[in-house]
Amino acid sequence: MVHSSRRCNFNKKKKGHEPRENTWRDDRDAPGNQGYREVLKENEKYWQFYKEQNVFPLEQFDEFRAALQRDLPVSFRFQGCHKDREQLIHEMENRFFGKIMEAGDTAVCVPKSLLWYKEAYQTPMSRTAVRSHPILAQLHNFLVTEAELGNLSRQEAVSMIPPLLLAPTSDHYVLDLCAAPGSKTTQLLEMIHENDENPKGMVIANDVDMKRCYMLIHHTLKRFRTAACAVTCEDAARFPQIADNDGGIIQFDRVLADVICSGDGTLRKNPEIWKKWTPQDALGLHRMQIAIARKGAQQLKVGGRMVYSTCSMNPIEDEAVVAQLLRDSKGSLRLVDTSSLLPELKRENGVNTWKVFDRDMKLYNSLDDITEEKMKKVIVTSLFPPTEEEANKMNLHFT
Ligand SMILES: C[S@@+](CC[C@H](N)C(=O)[O-])C[C@H]1O[C@@H](n2cnc3c(N)ncnc32)[C@H](O)[C@@H]1O
């Protein structure tokens, strides 16, 4: 029904040169590639910025800092139909967990199912530790094999949340605007297939980057047999309206805007962020994030649901974008309180106010504080927090 409007020259792609997410094999911490481990996990601007933003209570700051400086815990999710997932989980627990615990090595932590997502598992051990510990060798081989068969995927726990909140059903039309490499697309597809092998609904998975679309099709979707997914390669901010067979316009029941962002919540996975991060990274993305989210909202059915998500804790990338979207919608959109969904998930409320800093941590309270000509294009009104009255109507604490 839908196809990419751009020509793909897949022959140009060098085999094996794409970063592969959702795999267990990767060379990031292999001997000879020690750059990753040697990165100094400090960035004074980052600490100062997050102290100022109040996105979590200040007394948790040391805990926050220590968590970001620790290795990323390993998490993975079982895929496929309900029955197969149950069977595989049973097999993993029976074949390996007992033996691992009997060995009594205190350095080894058996993966535990997430309280808010029972098909997903996490261990505080790093991937390198899981891969190299002799007691875990058999479990590791099992995970590698099942990942290659498409029965499980490695995915960060937080990345699993947006599809769970969208909760599409089998008759839903779902638009995933920034889909590659596709962990969330797979989750969405599983949901529409959950009770129906041939669902009426479908997922349109879009990404502007052709190479990443290739990765989405050939690495992620390859193992997922479905006729309910189409991949498009478009700028999400200009995503076109799609006509149905009768000439009507398709409006989506669910939209995911998992937008491009500074990724400053992924420091443990992308260590170069420690060296490079400044508050300006977010400022430069703000307009694009709003444009993508706005296009998503325009494609939504009346009564439909959209999730806007980033890999950043920065209110400039989160609350400021949502606030502008609500302002623009003039009452057609409202924020939904999701606190009763996934009740076991530990979370903080969104914030109503925040601070705008530039690259050098200069604070801007309004457009009047701009002294440099070049900053006039960067610092725009929508970066600033809403007035108290506006904030009360917006319910930004639901974010
Ligand atoms: C955070 S990643 C998405 C991760 C993906 N949702 C997942 O769960 O695997 C952001 C994606 O947005 C894509 N992107 C960046 N700018 C875009 C645009 N203007 N339109 C569509 N996609 C865009 C990037 O290529 C990247 O793949």
Question: What tens digit of pLDDT does each residue of 203-227 get?
Answer: 999 999 999 999 999 988 988 889 9
**Does 24 map to a domain?**
yes
What's the whole-number mean pLDDT along residues 78-95? 92
342 and 221: one domain?
Answer: yes
Is residue 4 predicted with pLDDT exceeding 70?
A: no
pLDDT in tens, 282-318: 999 999 999 999 999 999 999 999 999 999 999 999 9
Show the ligand 1 pocket: residues with CB < 6 angstroms.
Answer: 159, 177-184, 206-209, 212, 235-237, 258, 260, 292, 311
Gap between the Cα atoms of 197 and 228, Å rounded: 10
Binding residues: 178-184, 207, 235, 258
Strand partners, 77: 120, 153
Counting from 1 in the atom list of ligand 1, the atom nearest the Cα of 235 is 20
The pLDDT mean for the chain works out to: 90
Q: Give yes or no for residue 30 having a pLDDT over 80.
A: no
What separation in Å is there between the alpha carbon of 322 and the centre of ligand 1? 18
332 and 364: one domain?
yes
| Dist. CA 351–CA 53, nearest whole Å | 9
The pairing of strands 229-232 and 202-206 is parallel
Say whether 311 is catalytic.
yes
Residues 49, 148: one domain?
yes
Query: So what's the pLDDT on residue 326?
Result: 97
For 45-61, the pLDDT digits (tens) are 999 999 999 999 999 99
d(CA 166, CA 313): 20
How far apart CA 264 and CA 271 sit, in angstroms, is 10
Split into its structural domains, the chain has a count of: 2
Instruction: Give, for ligand 1, the residue of 175, 187, 207 to mutate: max count of ligand atoms closer than 8 Å to Cβ.
Output: 207
Q: What angle do CA 61, 64, 69 make, to 5 degrees?
A: 130
Is there a domain that residue 195 lies in? yes
pLDDT tier at 104, thresholds 50, 70, 90:
confident
β-strand 173-176 against 112-114: which pairing, if any?
unpaired
Distance from the alpha carbon of residue 158 to the mean position of ligand 1, in angstroms? 16
354, with CB counted inside 10 A (0-12, 13-18, 19+), is: buried
Distance CA 37, CA 58 (A): 29
Mutate to test the pocket of ligand 1, among 178, 235, 269 (most ligand atoms within 8 A of CB): 178
Residue 8 included in any domain: no
pLDDT tens track for 117-152: 999 999 999 888 998 888 999 999 999 999 999 899
Task: Give the domain range for residue 375.
Answer: 158-398
Pairing, β 202-206 against β 173-176: parallel
Specify binding-site residues for S-adenosyl-L-methionine: 178-184, 207, 235, 258
For residue 306, the cross-strand partners are: 255
Residues 139 and 85 in one domain: yes
